[in-house]
Amino acid sequence: MRRIRAAATGAVMLSLALTASACGGGSSTGGGSNDSPEELTYWASNQGAGIEIDKKVLRPELDKFEKQTGIKVKLEVVPWSDLLNRILTATTSGQGPDVLNIGNTWSASLQATGALQPWDAEQFEKIGGKDRFVDSALGSTGAAGQDPAAVPLYSMAYALYYNKQMFADAGIDGPPATWDELAAAGKKLSKDGKWGMGVEGSNPAENIHHAFVFAEQHGADFFTADGKADFTSDAAVAAVKRYVDLMAKDKVIAPGNAEYAQNQSVSDFAKGKTGMLLWQSASANLESQGMSEDAYGIAPVPVRSGTPGTGKQVNSMVAGINLAVFKNSDNLDGATEFVKFMTSDAEQKILNTAYSSIPPVKAAQEDPAFGSPADAVLKDTLATSAVALPQVPDESQFETAVGTAVKELFADAAAGREVTTGSVKAALTKAQQQMPRK
């Protein structure tokens, strides 16, 4: 009997010990170190046409880095479906990579966890100074007034892709510059089973990107200056309604788009089923679906006045990927060295070419490699008329809540239910109620 009791006590002790140690949250409190200067772990996001393809792009560059510095980089390309969860568990446990890619819209949320190394002036000096980077890209690296949580790596912007042949057939002279022109063009295109434009109605992230731009154009902010959610202002409601009305009222978007979440709208465009598409760097994708580069044109996303610019003339979010250093890294110096390498002019040119994105580094951007008409549109947008999504800690909740609200409004429109100012307001009110109150 004694042995049993001893065993039972042992089991209880063991579980208590495990609980206690796990409750401590692991070693995550400690800062980083330079205990292992020879090696780095790097989590890359999936930018190319597949994980293996990304590895082929990155491996030679990482080998170059090893040759220069003697630091070996262990690369893992993390699929998008897992990336945020992986970062969250790494944050909770303190067990993560040294350097990692993050979607730039996550910057402020991840900054709030304190898991990422802040980039103060001194830190930036080590990679050549903050002013090497384009302003708009820097605007998406963390909350205003705080040291950035990450450094821009790849930039992207939305543009209007349009099918030249379909435009010619419908007698449309050129790409629309305002939403009214877009609706008019769309109506001309929408016939014989073809449609004016495509959207990803069931993808909350896509929805939020567009809803945000429409809100900017209507002069609405989804957050107040002190970071509180404010989704239900008249301007915000009008903005979201204008976007959904492209399907509900103008009927230039096929109702079926309401359930798109797997990039079906790109396929539709590539097949000539839709005449227009708002997308970021779609070229490689369109090519893989068999649409040649001279079959479509690229123009700035419409604005209400017709001339993109600052303030109400904003026509894209600043899309892109940032590079961050994990605070628990055991090779902080090496990590900084690696960021310096990845943001160097030469590497920026190579990587952004491979991923058909725009370098956020000014010097690299001026390279003739990024001088095509398409890149010119994107560069121009990034330089003058793109704005970062709200840099607040609650950004990811905002994306989910409002993105889902727009998804449901599209579902209403697709089902033939009326989308009114009232119903938009109700949807946004519900979204706002889901935001954390603290």
Partner 1 sequence: MSPDPAMTATAPAAEAAVRKSSPGTAGGPRRRTGRSRRIGLPYLLLLPALLFELLVHLVPMVIGIVMSFKELTQFYIRDWGTAPWAGLDNYSVSVDFDAPVGEALLHSFLVTIAFTLLSVGLCWLTGTAAAVFMQDTFRGRGLLRALFLVPYALPVYAAVITWVFMFQHDNGLVNHVLHDQLGITGKPPFWLIGDNSFVALLTVSVWKGWPFAFLIVTAGLQNIPRELYEAAALDGAGMIQQIRRITLPSLRPVNQVLVLVLFLWTFNDFNTPYVLFGKTAPEAADLISVHIYQASFVTWDFGTGSAMSVLLLLFLLVVTGVYLVLTSRRRRTAP
Partner 2 sequence: MSTLPRSPMAPSRSFLRYRRIFLTLLTGFVMIPVYVMISSSLKPLADVTGTFRWLPTELTIRPYIDIWSTVPLGRYFVNSLVVAGAATVCSVVIAVFAAYAVSRYDFRGKRVFTVTVLSTQMFPGILFLLPLFLIYVNIGNATGIALFGSRGGLILTYLTFSLPFSVWMLIGYFDSVPRDLDEAALVDGCGPLGALFRVVVPAAVPGIVAVAVYAFMTAWGEVLFASVMTNDTTRTLAVGLQGYSTLNDVYWNQIMAASLVVSVPVVAGFLLLQRYLVAGLTAGAVK
Q: Please spell the DSSP secondary structure of 127-138, one letter per residue.
A: TT-GGGB-HHHH
Contacts of 346 (CB under 8 A, 6+ apart): none
CB-based contact 246:186 (threshold 8 Å): yes
Main-chain dihedrals φ then ψ at residue 436, nearest 5 degrees: -60, 140
- One-letter identity of residue 112: A
Residue 228 in tokens: 């509180």
**Interacting partner of 50 out of partner 1, partner 2, none (Cβ under 5 to 8 A depending on kind):** partner 2
Q: How far is the CB of 286 from partner 2 (least distance, A)?
A: 9
Encoded one letter per residue, x for contact with partner 2 by CB under 8 A and - for no contact, window 331-370 reads: ----------------------------------------
The sheet with strand 319-325 has its strands ordered as 72-78, 39-45, 99-103, 319-325, 151-156
What whole-number distance in Å separates Cα of residue 155 and Cα of residue 318? 7
Q: How far is the CB of 112 from partner 1 (least distance, A)?
A: 5
**Interacting partner of 254 out of partner 1, partner 2, none (Cβ under 5 to 8 A depending on kind):** partner 1
What whole-number distance in Å separates Cα of residue 362 and Cα of residue 377? 16
Q: How far is the CB of 85 from partner 2 (least distance, A)?
A: 5
Q: Which is nearer to partner 2, 22 or 168 (CB)?
A: 22
Biggest CA-to-CA distance, the chain: 93
Of 141-149, 218-226, 227-235, 396-404: span binding partner 1 (CB under 8 A):
396-404
- One-letter identity of residue 147: D
Q: How far is the CB of 354 from partner 2 (least distance, A)?
A: 14
- Determine, following the binding rule CB under 8 A, whether residue 322 of this chain makes contact with partner 1: no
- Determine, following the binding rule CB under 8 A, whether residue 11 of this chain makes contact with partner 1: yes
**Interacting partner of 289 out of partner 1, partner 2, none (Cβ under 5 to 8 A depending on kind):** partner 2
Q: In this structure, are strands 296-299 and 274-280 parallel, antiparallel, or unpaired? A: unpaired
Q: How far is the CB of 130 from partner 1 (least distance, A)?
A: 26
351-390 per-residue burial string, b: 16 or more CB within 10 A, e: under 16: bbebbbbbbbbbebbebeebeeebbebbbebbeebbbbbb
CB-based contact 41:76 (threshold 8 Å): yes
CB-based contact 389:319 (threshold 8 Å): no
Q: Which is nearer to partner 2, 80 or 371 (CB)?
A: 80
Interface residue list for partner 2 (CB under 8 A): 4, 18, 21-22, 24-27, 45-53, 75-82, 85-86, 89, 92-95, 262-264, 266-267, 270-271, 281-282, 284-285, 288-290
- The residues that touch partner 1, with contacts defined as CB under 8 A, are 1, 3-4, 7, 11, 14-15, 18-19, 22-25, 28-29, 84-85, 88, 91-92, 94, 109-110, 112-115, 201-202, 204, 254-256, 258-259, 261-262, 264, 393, 396-397, 400, 403-404, 407-408, 410-411, 414-415, 430, 433-434, 436, 438
